[in-house]
A and B are shown apart, each in its own frame.
Chain A
Amino acid sequence: NAGVMQNPRHLVRRRGQEARLRCSPMKGHSHVYWYRQLPEEGLKFMVYLQKENIIDESGMPKERFSAEFPKEGPSILRIQQVVRGDSAAYFCASSQGTGVSEQYFGPGTRLTVT
């Protein structure tokens, strides 16, 4: 299956801990997007990356959140010192990035902060 992969699918963290969410793009895709979705709400854009470069991080909170997409390995969204308000579904999506190209979503990581 060459689809977008995310892990873990479910993550439980206590307040103050760190959360690391991983995303492997679809085969042949070099651009990755992260979105956050609260229950019964829409998709909120967070960050757009290509390998070793952040293209757009305008949707990401300035504190506690960071993202990377290294030359080797998956993209990682890192949330430090999690708070209850960080509980949400985090979706990763990928696209080719060249020309007009489709965007496909991964299954999401559901983060619960207790």
Chain B
Amino acid sequence: GENVEQHPSTLSVQEGDSAVIKCTYSDSASNYFPWYKQELGKRPQLIIDIRSNVGEKKDQRIAVTLNKTAKHFSLHITETQPEDSAVYFCAASHHTNTGNQFYFGTGTSLTVIP
């Protein structure tokens, strides 16, 4: 089955700096890679995703890159703000004849220091 590893587990950055979170996966069949942000006491929220036919995707201050050959993908947050402080989860998924299973990383706790 799929194995998703996520690093680092904790990350502190100064406000305005960039933050990078990295994930690796093991199953070459995985072709969809979402990222979730979970604030304290809230639900995980989908913030950006990338499919395997694309190498990079941007949405304002966040971007995701995918390297299919190396089986890794990364979340980049630029110009970080205190409200970016949260736990971020990566996931890998692919469609089979029974549906879509999602495999999650263990999470990264990001703290943005004002």
Contact = CB atoms under 8 A, between A and B. Distances in A.
Q: Is chain B's binding surface mostly helix, strand, loop or mixed? A: strand
A43 B44 contact: yes
Nearest to B107: A42
Interface residues of A, number: 25
B57 to A, nearest CB: 14
Interface stretch (A16-24, A48-56, A63-71, A80-88): A48-56
A100 B31 contact: yes
Given A55-B101, A56-B98, A104-B46, 12 more contacts: A33-B102, A42-B104, A55-B98, A55-B99, A93-B102, A97-B99, A100-B31, A100-B93, A101-B95, A103-B46, A105-B43, A108-B43
Interface of B: 31-32, 34, 36, 42-46, 49, 51, 89, 91, 93-95, 98-107
